[in-house]
Amino acid sequence: MTITKAVVPAAGLGTRFLPATKAIPKELLPVVDVPAIEYVVREASRAGLRDVLLITGKTKGAILDHFDRAWDLEAVLEDKGEPERLAAIRSSAELATIHAVRQSAPRGLGHAVLCAKAHVGREPFAVLLGDDLIDARDPLLTNMIAVRERLGGSVVALMRVPREQISLYGSAAAELVDDAAVPGLAPGSVFRLSHLVEKPLVAEAPSDLAIIGRYVLDPVVFSVLEDTGPGRGGEIQLTDALARLADIAPAAGGGLHGVLFTGRRYDTGDRLDYLKAVVRLAADHPELGSEFSSWLAEFVAGSPGR
Ligand code: UTP
């Protein structure tokens, strides 16, 4: 079955970024001149997912406004003769058909995904975390969809991290899948997963493979989530549901694979990673890149030991 729906959870509290996120969702913080969540919706759109469900919280209005037409602003830009800015504000409304559902309270990522049940129905779907930026040059999501199409079940994105950082992520025991099973992907990039743990102690981590914010899920995940109680931090954890998916028979929609991502990725809900994302994307920016890079080189050269 072709995958057409993407779910973008954006209802978390963003406590790591307070006070900036007191009144503004972290997903709307700009990375240069585009809100983080727009990069995520662009990625879904590029992978052919044109039906996007945003899971929002109390700041729903601002996120939805960003993906809506802004007729008043468009009229002003038209009058002023500013076609590039006009195109920039229109494009976010043209990326996909945007839907929204409100998560009543931030009870965890698993609970946020469960809020998508009525919209998604019985189809496989993708989940893209609204604060997780993946390098636009890497076809990660397309590769994950290819793995689902070949091997069935559900698929997560994996990244190797230094062992001491694994406690920040979900981690999984992984066994390489034969390269011929999914033609076209880089050799050694597809794994069969078992024994998933959310934010494990370093000594107890099943591997150095961290689960990052992209998922392709079989709809059986909804019944599993309905039956998943609060886990780490008192939240309903998606990782706990994934661990159970790995144990369900393929004929019933179970089975879990991972695709290794080796490109650049930024968790914009983390202040340091956010700053790295801004610097990297500013340096690559078509208008600002060259001036910004020269300034940055001077700044670094003039600040020894900083
Ligand atoms: P995070 O793990 O970054 O959690 O969520 P958080 O609560 O938003 O942030 P901190 O730790 O307090 O700083 C990952 C993604 O899942 C969404 C977030 O909005 C983010 O896109 N999320 C998380 C929800 O939609 N609902 C939740 O209950 C929790």
The answer to whether the CB of 107 is under 6 A from ligand 1 is yes
CA triplet 7, 207, 146: central angle to 5 degrees? 40
3-state secondary structure 125-167: EEEECCCEEECCCCCHHHHHHHHHHHHCCEEEEEEECCHHHHH
Neighbouring CB atoms inside 10 A of 179's CB total 13
Distance 243 CA to ligand 1 centre (A): 19
What is the count of structural domains for the chain? 1
The tokens describing 284, both together, are 């690559």
The answer to whether the CB of 131 is under 6 A from ligand 1 is yes
Distance CA 216, CA 199 (A): 21
Q: Hey, is 250 helix, strand or coil?
A: helix
The answer to whether the CB of 11 is under 6 A from ligand 1 is yes
Q: Is there a domain that residue 283 lies in?
A: no
**Which pLDDT tens digit goes with each residue over 72-99?**
999 999 999 999 999 999 999 999 999 9
Q: Is there a domain that residue 278 lies in?
A: no
Which residues does the chain have with pLDDT short of 70? Answer: 1, 304-306
Give percent of the chain with pLDDT exceeding 90: 89
Q: What is the CATH number of the domain that holds 177?
A: 3.90.550.10
How far CA 12 is from CA of 55, 93, 132, 187, 265, in Å, comes to 9, 23, 13, 36, 19
Domain span holding position 258: 5-269
Which secondary-structure segment (H or E) carries 34?
strand 34-35
Q: Is there a domain that residue 293 lies in?
A: no
The tokens describing 201, both together, are 């102690």
Q: Is there a domain that residue 49 lies in?
A: yes
Neighbouring CB atoms inside 10 A of 208's CB total 18
Q: Which atom of ligand 1 is nearest to the CA of 16?
A: 13
pLDDT for 306 equals 59
Q: Is there a domain that residue 288 lies in?
A: no
Pairing between strand 30-31 and 34-35?
antiparallel
DSSP for 86-132 reads HHHHHHHHHSSEEEEEE-SS---HHHHHHTTHHHHTTS-EEEE-TTE
**Which pLDDT tens digit goes with each residue over 84-143?**
999 999 999 999 999 999 999 999 999 999 999 999 999 999 999 999 999 888 899 999
The tokens describing 28, both together, are 């709307």
pLDDT for 131 equals 95
Burial bucket for residue 173 (CB in 10 Å: 0-12, 13-18, 19+): middle
Q: Is there a domain that residue 22 lies in?
A: yes
Q: Is there a domain that residue 80 lies in?
A: yes
The answer to whether the CB of 170 is under 6 A from ligand 1 is no
Q: Which atom of ligand 1 is nearest to the CA of 55?
A: 25
Distance 78 CA to ligand 1 centre (A): 38
On whether the CB atoms of residues 254 and 247 are closer than 8 A, the answer is yes
Q: Is there a domain that residue 303 lies in?
A: no
